[in-house]
Amino acid sequence: MSISTRLENIGRLLKDKGHKLTVQREAVVRVLLENENGHLSAEDVFMIQKETFPEIGLATIYRTLELLNELNIVEKMIFADGVARFNLRSEGHAHMHHHLICASCGKLKEIKDDWLSELENRLAREYGFIVTDHRLDFMGYFQACNGHDCSRTSKAVS
Ligand SMILES: [Zn+2]
Ligand SMILES: [Zn+2]
Ligand SMILES: [Zn+2]
C-alpha cells in the first residue's frame, strides 16, 4: 500500500474520531510512514522533519504522537532509557506485534505474526473473554551479541 493511501486512511481514522489531519499532524504521520518499524522518539521525528517543516516544534510533535497513541494508530514503547518511542501499528492487524529487545546493544526486532492466537482462542473458550489487544516484549540477548558489548552501534531504535 502506498504512503499516500495509508496517509489517507489515517486521515480518515482521525476524522472519524473528530480530529483533523492538520499540516503538522500530516508531517508527523509522514515521517512515521517513511520510517516504518523505526520506533522513533519525538526528538527523532523532530530531527527528521525539521528540514521540511522547521516551524513544527517538538511540543507539537509530542502532542501529535500522544494523540495517535490514544487513537491506537501508533504503538508507544518506553525503553530502558526512559524515552518514549512511537511506531505505526500495521494496518489490518488489530493486535500488537511482539518485540525482541537486546539488553546489550538495544537492537529491536519485531515479530509480525500473532503468536498468541491459540491462547486467545483458549481465553474465549474457557473464560468467555474476547481479547482485543495485548503486548508481549521479550528482553534478552541476540546470540550474536551475547557476551560482547556490541558497542551500541546497531541501535535500531534511534
Ligand atoms: Zn492477538
Ligand atoms: Zn545486541
Ligand atoms: Zn513495534
Per domain, the residue ranges of the chain are 1-92, 95-158
Q: What is the pLDDT of residue 149?
A: 55
Distance 99 CA to ligand 3 centre (A): 6
CATH class of the region 1-92: mainly alpha
**pLDDT for the residue numbered 148:** 57
CA of 107 to the centre of ligand 2 (A): 5
Ligand 3 centroid to residue 92 C-alpha, Å: 15
Q: What Cα–Cα distance (Å) separates residue 148 from each residue in 100, 128, 144?
A: 18, 47, 8
Mean pLDDT of 63-91: 88
pLDDT at 105 over 90: no
CA of 157 to the centre of ligand 2 (A): 12
Between the CA of 119 and the centroid of ligand 1 the distance, in Å, is: 9
CATH architecture of the domain 95-158 equals: 2-Layer Sandwich (3.30)
CA 114 – ligand 1 centroid, Å: 5
Mean pLDDT value across residues 142-150: 72
- The model's pTM is 0.74
Q: 19 C-alpha to center of ligand 2: Å? A: 40
pLDDT at 4 over 50: yes
The pLDDT score that the predictor gives to residue 133 is 85
Mean pLDDT score of the chain: 86
Find the mean pLDDT for residues 49-67: 93
Residues 6+ apart with CB under 8 A from 148: 104
The CA-based dihedral angle spanning residues 60, 62, 63, 68, taken in that order and rounded to the nearest 10 degrees: 120
Give the cell for residue 71: 487513537
Decide if pLDDT at 98 tops 50. yes
